[in-house]
C-alpha cells in the first residue's frame, strides 16, 4: 500500500505531513517502533518507522546525517514522528534533512498511542495480504483441476484469461505457436523496458514494457515474462495492463498460470522424449537391424507409418564434429521437409533419415540437398551429406550401409559436402570389400611423383580431365592462354610417357588423378577439423 493511501486511514488522518509531496508514493509493507539509531540492525525496505524525537534529540550533526543515509540505503518508506511533553516542536533543521534525503515526515501528537497507529497501518495491509492469498489459492485450485485433466495449452490460457480479465499473448516462437485473448495492439512499439523488483509472490523475472500504439497514438503497458522450460526454447508471455499500476493479485494469477504451463511443458517434453525414443528404436530396427522376414519388416514399417508408398531412400550426415551436433536439430528439421513420410534415428557418430515416397515423385537429388542446406554448408564446412539410391522395400537394408560407405569413402577421398551413390561410381566396390587402402595402388607411379614434385602441372592435368580434355575450356578455367595449356600438357605427356589421345592410358591416369585430388582434399579438410 502506498504511504498517501495509509495517511487517509484511522489515526493517521490526524497526522500532519511536514515534507509536502515528497515520498508519498512510497510503498509501505511493514511498520516498526524505533527508539535507537542502529536502524540497520532492525529495519528493512518499504518499512514505516515510528519514533519520538526524544530518541534523536541528543544526536550530533554527523550522527543524524549517518542516520538519514542509512534510511536511504535501506529504503525506508517514511518517518512518523511522535512529539511528547518535553518536545512539542520538530526543529526546522530536522525537517530540512528530511527534504534533503527525501524521507517523508509525518508528525503525530502525543495523545495517539503507538498501538493505534500500528493497528491503522497493519489492518489494511493484512486485509490486502488476505485478499492476495485468497486470489492465489483460488487460482491455484482452478489450474490444478486443469492439470489433472491434462488440458491443452489453449484451455489453460482460456482459464487464465477468465481469471485475470486482461489481454495476453503467449508465444512459443520455436514451435510457431501463438495463443492470444482480448484486444491486443498489433502495431505497438516498445518505448522502454524496466525490470520489476522481486516480491514475496514472484518466482519469475518480469519486465514492465511501455508501449506506443500507432493506431490511436496512446501509451500502453504490458508485463513481459520469459518462461524457461524443456519444451520450448523461446517462450514469452505478454500481459497487457489497464494502466501502469501492477496489482499484486495479477502477479499471483500470472505465477499460477506459469506453474500450470510449466507442468504442461514438462508433460509435453516427456511425451516428446518417449516418442523420440520409440521412433528412434523403430528407425534403427528398420535401417540398421533390418529383419529378414518380410512380414516382420512390414509390421515395423506400418508402426512407423512408412508403408504406404513403394520407394525408399536414406540420407545420412556425420555428427562427429561438435559444430554439426549443435546444428543437428536444424538439419533434421530441414531434411524432413523433403518428403511427407520421414523417420530418423541417431547413432553416436551419425544421424539418418529414411524417406518413403511414390516412385513417380522421383528421388531426392544432390542439387535439392545442396539448395536446401546452403546456409548450413556456409556455416559449417565440416558437415557431409550422403545420399543413397532410391530402392524398393525389399532392398531397404542396403540404404543405410550405402550411405555409411559414402561417408567412409569421403573421409579418405573427399568428393564434396553432398555426395550421392552415383558420385562414388566404381569406387563403391573397393569400399564394400574393405579395399580402400589398395586404391593407392591404382595410381600410376609417375602421376603420383608429378603431384608431389610439381603440383601446378598436376592441377593443369586434372583441370584438363575435368573439362573433357578440351584445351580451350581448360585455358578459360585456369585463366591462361591456350598455348600455355598446350605447352604444359605436352610437358606432362612427356613426363608421364603417355599419349593424351590414347583412351586406355587416359582412363588409368584419370582414375589416378581423381584419387590423388580427393585424397589431398580429404587431408586438407581433416587438418582443418583438428585445428
- pLDDT per residue over 80-115, tens digit each? 988 765 567 788 888 899 999 999 999 888 788 888
**pLDDT value at position 528?**
61
Q: Which of 71, 77, 88 is nearest to 1 (CA)?
A: 77
Distance CA 132, CA 10 (A): 22
**Ramachandran sector of residue 398 (left: φ over 0; alpha: ψ -120 to 50; beta: rest):** alpha
**pLDDT value at position 83?**
74
Q: Which three cell numbers stand for residue 340?
A: 511427407
Consecutive H or E run containing 516 = helix 503-530
Averaged pLDDT for residues 172-201: 86
Per-residue pLDDT at 59 exceeds 70: yes
Detail the DSSP E strand segments found in 97-217: 105-108, 168-172, 177-181, 188-195, 206-213
- Half-sphere exposure in the Cβ direction for 263 (13 Å, CA): 18
Question: Are the C-beta atoms of 48 and 117 separated by less than 8 Å?
Answer: no
Consecutive H or E run containing 501 = none
**Above pLDDT 90, what percent of the chain?**
29
Helix (H, G, I), strand (E, B) or coil at 415: coil
Q: Which of 35, 110, 92, 89 is nearest to 67 (CA)?
A: 35
Query: Diameter of the chain by CA atoms?
Result: 125
Q: Nearest 5°: CA angle at 168, between 167 and 170?
A: 165
Q: Which of 343, 338, 528 is nearest to 417 (CA)?
A: 528
Strand order in the sheet with 235-241: 177-181, 168-172, 235-241, 218-226, 206-213, 188-195
Question: Are the C-beta atoms of 48 and 28 separated by less than 8 Å?
Answer: yes
Per-residue pLDDT at 526 exceeds 70: no
Question: Are the C-beta atoms of 81 and 105 separated by less than 8 Å?
Answer: yes
**DSSP 8-state assignment for residue 113:** -
Q: Which of 42, 45, 44, 67 is nearest to 56 (CA)?
A: 67
At 320, is the pLDDT very low, low, confident or very high (cuts 50, 70, 90)?
Answer: confident
Question: Are the C-beta atoms of 213 and 187 separated by less than 8 Å?
Answer: yes
Helix (H, G, I), strand (E, B) or coil at 491: helix
At 431, is the pLDDT very low, low, confident or very high (cuts 50, 70, 90)?
Answer: low
Phi, psi (rounded to 5 degrees) for 296: -65, -40
Per-residue pLDDT at 530 exceeds 60: no
At 274, is the pLDDT very low, low, confident or very high (cuts 50, 70, 90)?
Answer: confident
Helix (H, G, I), strand (E, B) or coil at 27: strand
Consecutive H or E run containing 7 = none
**pLDDT value at position 34?**
82
Which residue's C-alpha cell is 593424351? Answer: 500
Helix (H), strand (E), coil (C) string for 331-398 = HHHHHCCCCCEEEEEECCCEEEEEEEECHHHCCCCHHHHHHHCHHHHHHCCCCCEEECCCECHHHHHH
Averaged pLDDT for residues 240-259: 88
- Most confidently modeled of 5-9, 102-106, 199-203? 102-106
Q: Nearest 5°: CA angle at 460, between 454 and 463?
A: 140
Distance CA 126, CA 131 (A): 8
Q: Which of 76, 366, 42 is nearest to 68 (CA)?
A: 76
Residue 493 CB: number of other CB atoms within 10 A? 15
Lowest mean pLDDT among 40-44, 219-223, 249-253: 40-44
Per-residue pLDDT at 531 exceeds 60: no
Angle between helices 482-496 and 471-478 (to 10 degrees): 110
Regarding beta strands 385-387 and 78-82, do their DSSP bridges make them parallel or antiparallel, or are they unpaired? unpaired
- Residue 214 Cα distances to 191, 207, 314, angstroms: 12, 22, 52
Which residue's C-alpha cell is 483441476? Answer: 145
Distance CA 315, CA 82 (A): 83
Per-residue pLDDT at 214 exceeds 70: yes
Amino acid at each position: 500500500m502506498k504511504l498517501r493511501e495509509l495517511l487517509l486511514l484511522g489515526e493517521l488522518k490526524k497526522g500532519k505531513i511536514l515534507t509536502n509531496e515528497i515520498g508519498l508514493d512510497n510503498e509501505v509493507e511493514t511498520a516498526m517502533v524505533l527508539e535507537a539509531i542502529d536502524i540497520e540492525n532492525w529495519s528493512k525496505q518499504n518499512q514505516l518507522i515510528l519514533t519520538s524525537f526524544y530518541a534523536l534529540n541528543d544526536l550530533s550533526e554527523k550522527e543524524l546525517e549517518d542516520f538519514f543515509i542509512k534510511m536511504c540505503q535501506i529504503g525506508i518508506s517514511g518517518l512518523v514522528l511522535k512529539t511528547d511533553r518535553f518536545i512539542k516542536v520538530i526543529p526546522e533543521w530536522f525537517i530540512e534533512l528530511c527534504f534533503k534525503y527525501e524521507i517523508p515526515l509525518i508528525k503525530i501528537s502525543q495523545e495517539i498511542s503507538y498501538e493505534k497507529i500500528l493497528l491503522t497501518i497493519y489492518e489494511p495491509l493484512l486485509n490486502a495480504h488476505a485478499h492476495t492469498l485468497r486470489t492465489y489459492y483460488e487460482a491455484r485450485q482452478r489450474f490444478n483441476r486443469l492439470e489433472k485433466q491434462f488440458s491443452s495449452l489453449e484451455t489453460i490460457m482460456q482459464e487464465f484469461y477468465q481469471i485475470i480479465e486482461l489481454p495476453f499473448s503467449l508465444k512459443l516462437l520455436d514451435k510457431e505457436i501463438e495463443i492470444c485473448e482480448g484486444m491486443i495492439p498489433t502495431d505497438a512499439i516498445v518505448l522502454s523496458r524496466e525490470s520489476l523488483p522481486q516480491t514475496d509472490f514472484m518466482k519469475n523475472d518480469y519486465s514492465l514494457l511501455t508501449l506506443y500504439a500507432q493506431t490511436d497514438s496512446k501509451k500502453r503497458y504490458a508485463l513481459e515474462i520469459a518462461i524457461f522450460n524443456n519444451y520450448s526454447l523461446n517462450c514469452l508471455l505478454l500481459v497487457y495492463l489497464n494502466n501502469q499500476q501492477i496489482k499484486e493479485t495479477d502477479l499471483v494469477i500470472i505465477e499460477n498460470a506459469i506453474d500450470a504451463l510449466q507442468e504442461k511443458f514438462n508433460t509435453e517434453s516427456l511425451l516428446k522424449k518417449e516418442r523420440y525414443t520409440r521412433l528412434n528404436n523403430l528407425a534403427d530396427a528398420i535401417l540398421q537391424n533390418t529383419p529378414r522376414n518380410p512380414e516382420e519388416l512390414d509390421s515395423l514399417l506400418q508402426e512407423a507409418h512408412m508403408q504406404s508408398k513403394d520407394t525408399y531412400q536414406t540420407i545420412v550426415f556425420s555428427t562427429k564434429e561438435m559444430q554439426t551436433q549443435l546444428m543437428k536439430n536444424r538439419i533434421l528439421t530441414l531434411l524432413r521437409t523433403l518428403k511427407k513420410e520421414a523417420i530418423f534415428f541417431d547413432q553416436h557418430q551419425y544421424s539418418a533419415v529414411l524417406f518413403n515416397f511414390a516412385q513417380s515423385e522421383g528421388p531426392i537429388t544432390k542439387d535439392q540437398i545442396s539448395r536446401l542446406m546452403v546456409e548450413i554448408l556456409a556455416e559449417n564446412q565440416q558437415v557431409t551429406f550422403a545420399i543413397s539410391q532410391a530402392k524398393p522395400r525389399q532392398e531397404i537394408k542396403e540404404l543405410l550401409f550405402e550411405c555409411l560407405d559414402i561417408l567412409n569413402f569421403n573421409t579418405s577421398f573427399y568428393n564434396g559436402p553432398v555426395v550421392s551413390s552415383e558420385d562414388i561410381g566404381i569406387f563403391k566396390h573397393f569400399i564394400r570389400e574393405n579395399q580402400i587402402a589398395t586404391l593407392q595402388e591404382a595410381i600410376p607411379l609417375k602421376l603420383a611423383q608429378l603431384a608431389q614434385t610439381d603440383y601446378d602441372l598436376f592441377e593443369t592435368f586434372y583441370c584438363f580431365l575435368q573439362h573433357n580434355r578440351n584445351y580451350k575450356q581448360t585455358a578459360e578455367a585456369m585463366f591462361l592462354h591456350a598455348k600455355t595449356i598446350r605447352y604444359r600438357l605436352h610437358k606432362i605427356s612427356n613426363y608421364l610417357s603417355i599419349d593424351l589421345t590414347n583412351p586406355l592410358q587416359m582412363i588409368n591416369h584419370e582414375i589416378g588423378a581423381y584419387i590423388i585430388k580427393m585424397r589431398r582434399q580429404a587431408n586438407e579438410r581433416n587438418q582443418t577439423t583438428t585445428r
